[in-house]
Amino acid sequence: MTDAPRCSLRAIHPGDIRALAAAEVACFDDAWPESYVASELFAPARFHRVLVDPGGRLAAYLFAAWQYLDLHILKVATLPPFRRFGLGTELMLAAEEHAREMAGETLTLEVRVTNIAAIGLYESLGYEHVGVRPGYYADESDALIMTKRVGET
């Protein structure tokens, strides 16, 4: 694919669960199983979006959870053929807009210290490094904590 795909943004539907579980395997070593994708979809205080191409194919997705006034980004991923076209940025900006609309104060996330692509995405959006969680992941690698303030204070 050479041209930027014209994808549309929408909420996640139950009919997306199978495609999301397959996308997890394509995007992560520690993929969420289908049952976990479903439980996140139906959990309270969540924000989740997909980007789909004109053929209805899943291109990218984001899951986030409210923790008081912080919208915690649980996961953002773009399927390999759709990367570097701005889709991750579009999803992160949708989460940011949602946080502002809901009078949230911050968006926060953890990212594996070796995940150069994701750290680059978050830094490009103005997220700041605010700490490290040693041994955060199942393989005991460390996570960076990154935050972006969107509220007034």
User: Residues interacting with ligand COA, by CB under 6 A?
Assistant: 27-28, 60, 75-78, 83-89, 111, 115-118, 120-121, 124
- CB of 8 vs ligand COA, minimal distance in Å: 15
- Kindly tell me which of 29 and 153 has the beta carbon lying closer to ligand COA: 29
- CB of 67 vs ligand COA, minimal distance in Å: 16
Confirm if 147 and 108 have CB atoms less than 8 A apart: yes
Distance CA 62, CA 102 (A): 17
- Kindly tell me which of 120 and 151 has the beta carbon lying closer to ligand COA: 120
- Kindly tell me which of 13 and 84 has the beta carbon lying closer to ligand COA: 84
Distance CA 57, CA 75 (A): 19
- CB of 143 vs ligand COA, minimal distance in Å: 10
Distance CA 85, CA 71 (A): 24
Task: Report how far apart, in Å, the C-alpha atoms of 48 and of each of 10, 102, 110, 132 are.
Answer: 9, 14, 17, 25
- CB of 57 vs ligand COA, minimal distance in Å: 15
